[in-house]
Amino acid sequence: MKITPVSEHVGAEVSEIDIRRLTDGDTATLLQAWGQHGVLFFRDQELTPDDHITFAERFAPIDVNKFFQPVETHPQIAQVLKEPDQLGNIGGGWHTDHSYDQIPAKGSILLAREVPPEGGDTRFLSVAAAYDALSDGLKATLETLSAHHTNVHIFGAGSKHMDKADNRLQNPENVGSAIHPVVIKHPTTGQKLLYVNLAFTTRLISADGHEWTEEESRPLIDYLLGHTAEGGFDYQFSWDEGSLAMWDNRSTWHWALNDYQGHRRLMHRITIAGEALSAAAS
């Protein structure tokens, strides 16, 4: 197997590998590379749904998403689908998956089944690099803060987002919220990671547990989002049928570009379970 970094801050392409036939040594090498690069890309993989599940379970148990239509024959796999007549897409903005869960998913393993002739790329970025680029003063302040994450405004009853993405499962009674440190420590690499995102982070909480209002929180959250999105910490991946990306939900953000109107795009996603997050300062 060959592992080639694809950008300065995030991502590596893994080649000369058939992920249906991994040894335990291969898995250990991939885990190490995953921690180092945040997202790993594979091309030309011929996977059945069962192969996809077997690959995912090498890294962690599957964490079934409550808001996606499952693949009919394999409920562990979520179907991320945009039909030619749909305008909105799923994941069309910088975010990380499942930050509204008490124990957010470790990562997602996305396999391209049908891709548009052009467009439909996914951007990824490193929130480790985003954290590192902040001043020591702001880092020290952020390490004392927590943030509230929720999906009520996206998946809850009456959300305009659910109208746009009508291939998503309507499941408003399963919405959820969680509080996480603003700067977390990666559970395996120990890297410090900026853990706020555009989709789900709504307000800040001080070290002694007192809540900021949303109005007070917004400028600082927006500064951090802008710094992260615009800092040059990103890489854009172009999919072919049989491409697979596995990303770490703690150390990266991703954004599915919606630039292929009139074409169908079908991806199969498996999300795998993570561990409780701890503060970088602890």
SS (H, E, C) 131-167: HHCCCHHHHHHHCCCEEEEECHHHHCCCCHHHHHCCC
**67 or 145: whose CB is closer to Fe ion?**
67
**68 or 131: whose CB is closer to Fe ion?**
68
* Shortest separation between residue 204's beta carbon and Fe ion, angstroms: 23
* Shortest separation between residue 198's beta carbon and Fe ion, angstroms: 12
Tokens of 35: 């921690």
Q: What x/- string results for residues 58 through 97 when contact with Fe ion is judged by CB under 5 A?
A: ---------------------------------x-----x
**17 or 178: whose CB is closer to Fe ion?**
178
Q: What x/- string results for residues 90 through 129 when contact with Fe ion is judged by CB under 5 A?
A: -x-----x--------------------------------
Tokens of 43: 């091309």
CA distances from 210 to 145, 204, 214, 258 (A): 10, 9, 13, 39
Residue 216, SS3 per DSSP: helix
In 3D, which of 278, 268, 211 has the Cα closest to residue 56?
268
Closest residue by beta carbon to Fe ion: 91
Residue 274 near Fe ion by CB under 5 A? no
Site for Fe ion, rule CB under 5 A? 91, 97
